[in-house]
Amino acid sequence: MKAKLRPFQLSDAERLAQLANNYEIARFLTNRFPHPYTVEHAREFIETFQKNKPCQRFAVTVNNELIGGCGINLQEDIFVNNAELGYWIGEEYQKKGYMSQALQLISDYAFANFPITRLFCRIYGNNPASMRVAEKVGFKLEAKFEKTLLKYGEVLDEYIYAKRR
């Protein structure tokens, strides 16, 4: 089975909340991704990003079932030729290769649809699985910032992985 990407739809809200309302996911994401994660959070997220054209937030699916999400954050000012990619996958779908497939798809999409030359991911030091996903699809470690992040009371290193056109 292969992972696919599609824009989020309002009908995804309940499933999105079901998957995302998980501490083991939230602890690797910014605080903009709340925990607990409710159906109302999911609806607000979907409604906010449905307006973006071309699409910048995607549902990751397998066999038409929502299993995770990924997104593109275009940068501004002097960083305008860069975009940050973020991604997560439901706990029961981890370690099956789906996120690597999704990250490759969104990377290809970003380079094809936006005037960028560099994609990057910010990965927490306590998430080696995410580092492996990025490396698997050709992202290279560019920087490590020691003791930069504070998440749930834990001080973490931040790793910047990047891929160039």
pLDDT(9) > 80: yes
Asked if 42 contacts 33 with a C-beta cutoff of 8 angstroms, the reply is no
Average pLDDT value over all residues in the chain: 96
CB-based burial of residue 86 (10 Å sphere; 0-12 exposed, 13-18 middle, 19+ buried)?
Answer: middle
Half-sphere exposure of 26 (CA within 13 A, CB side): 17
Looking at residue 5, its amino acid is: L
pLDDT digits (tens, 9 = 90+) for 29-47: 999 899 999 999 999 999 9
Name the token pair of 34: 């709340």
Over residues 95-104, mean pLDDT: 98
Share of the chain above pLDDT 70, in %: 100
The reported pLDDT for the residue numbered 77 is: 96
Over residues 129-152, mean pLDDT: 98
Contacts of 37 by beta carbon, 8 Å cutoff, 6+ apart? 17, 20, 21, 22, 26
The reported pLDDT for the residue numbered 59 is: 98
Per-residue confidence at 126, pLDDT binned at 50, 70, 90?
very high
The reported pLDDT for the residue numbered 24 is: 96
Q: What are the residue ranges spanned by the domains of the chain?
A: 4-119
3-state secondary structure of 35: coil
pLDDT digits (tens, 9 = 90+) for 47-99: 998 887 888 999 999 999 999 999 999 999 999 999 999 999 999 999 999 99
The reported pLDDT for the residue numbered 54 is: 86
3-state secondary structure of 130: helix
Architecture of 4-119 per CATH? 3-Layer(aba) Sandwich (3.40)
3-state secondary structure of 103: helix
